[in-house]
Amino acid sequence: MALLTVEELSVTYHGRDADVRAVDGVSFSVEPGEVVAVVGESGSGKSTLALALTRLLPSPPAQLSARHVRFEGMDLFTASEGQLQRLRGGRIAYVFQDPAGSLNPVLTIGEQLRETVERHTDRRGRDAETVALTWLERVGIPPAQRRLGAYPHEFSGGMQQRVMIAMAMASQPALLIADEPTSALDVTVQVQILRLLRDLQRRFGLSLLLISHDLLVVQRLAHRTVVLSRGAVVESGPTEQVLQRPAHPYTKSLLDARASMTWRAQEPPGDG
C-alpha cells in the first residue's frame, strides 16, 4: 500500500489584484522506500505542493482543496491541526533549501537536535542527547561530541544542511520531503549531500519526495519522476523513462536547458 496518496490537490493564492492557481489538480503517490522526484521550472508550484501536503500554507492567502491526501491511513485534509502538528517534523519531515534560515541562531546544534528528539520520540535528557549525537555522526559530522556545543554560524553551509538532515531524521520520519536541498550549496558539496540523502534513504528504508529543478540530481536519486508545469502534472513515470524518452515537450525543454548548461559549464571561461 502506498505511504502517501495525493488525489486532485489544488492550491490557489488569492491576491488583491489576481488569483494564482499554483497547484492545479495534482495526483501522485509515494510507496514505502521509494524516491519520487518533483521537477519543474521556477514558479511551477513545487514548493507550494510540498507545503500543501501537510497544510503548512497560511490560509488566506492560500486556498487548498483535494479529493484526499492520505498518509499512513490518515486523511491529512480532514485531520485536526493538532494531528498535523504532530505529523510535521515527525512522521513527515522537511529539509529546505536554506539551512541557515531554518536553524535557530541562538541555540547550539546540540540543543536544537535534542529538542527535536524530545518532541518526537520518547527519549529525554541525556538519553535524547545520545540520540542527537548518534545522528550527528550518521550525517558525517565528526567529532560529534564537541560539535554539539557549536552554534549554527560556526558551520559551513554544507555542514548546516547535514545538521538539518540530522534533525529531520531524528524524528524517525517515514517520509522526508526535501525541497531543493542542495541548490544553495557549492557543486562539490551538493554531490556529498545528495550521496548522504541517498545513503540514509536506503539504510532506513525511507520514502523521499525530492523537489528539484535540476534533472541531474533527479537522475541520481529518484525511482520515479513527476513533471510539473504551471502547477499541473504534465508527465510522470520511472525516472529513466521520463528523462530518456520524455513524452511531453515541456520535459524535453527542461532536458535541453540542462544539456546546454552542462555544455557551457564544460567550455573554458571566455566571452563566447
Ligand X SMILES: Nc1ncnc2c1ncn2[C@@H]1O[C@H](COP(=O)(O)OP(=O)(O)OP(=O)(O)O)[C@@H](O)[C@H]1O
Q: What share of the chain is helix, strand, coil (3-state, %, to 5)?
A: 40, 25, 35
Q: How far is the CB of 84 from Mg ion (least distance, A)?
A: 21
Cell 500543501 found at: 52
Name which of Mg ion, ligand X, none residue 78 binds, using a CB cut-off of 5 to 8 Å depending on partner kind: none
Interface with ligand X in residues 205-234 (CB under 6 A): 213
Q: How many residues bind ligand X (CB under 6 A)?
A: 14
47 binds Mg ion (CB under 5 A): yes
Query: Of 151, 153, 147, which is closest to residue 135 (Cα–Cα)?
Result: 147
The answer to whether 33 touches 205, Cβ cutoff 8 Å, is yes
The answer to whether 27 touches 7, Cβ cutoff 8 Å, is yes
CA distance 45 to 29: 17
Point out which span in 41-49, 69-77, 104-112, 240-248 binds ligand X (CB under 6 A). Answer: 41-49
61 binds ligand X (CB under 6 A): yes
**Residue from 1, 42, 106, 266 binding ligand X (CB under 6 A):** 42
**Residue from 2, 13, 79, 127 binding ligand X (CB under 6 A):** 13
At residue 88, φ and ψ (nearest 5 deg) are -70, 130
Q: How far is the CB of 179 from Mg ion (least distance, A)?
A: 6
When the beta carbons of 144 and 184 are compared against ligand X, the nearer one is 184
Is the bond into 246 cis (omega within 30 degrees of 0)? no
Q: How far is the CB of 106 from Mg ion (least distance, A)?
A: 27
46 binds ligand X (CB under 6 A): yes
CA distance 112 to 167: 8
Could you tell me which residues come within 8 angstroms of residue 219 by beta carbon, excluding any fewer than 6 positions away? Answer: 239, 243
Point out which span in 35-43, 149-157, 194-202, 250-258 binds ligand X (CB under 6 A). Answer: 35-43
Residues that bind ligand X (CB under 6 A): 13, 15, 20, 22, 40, 42-48, 61, 213
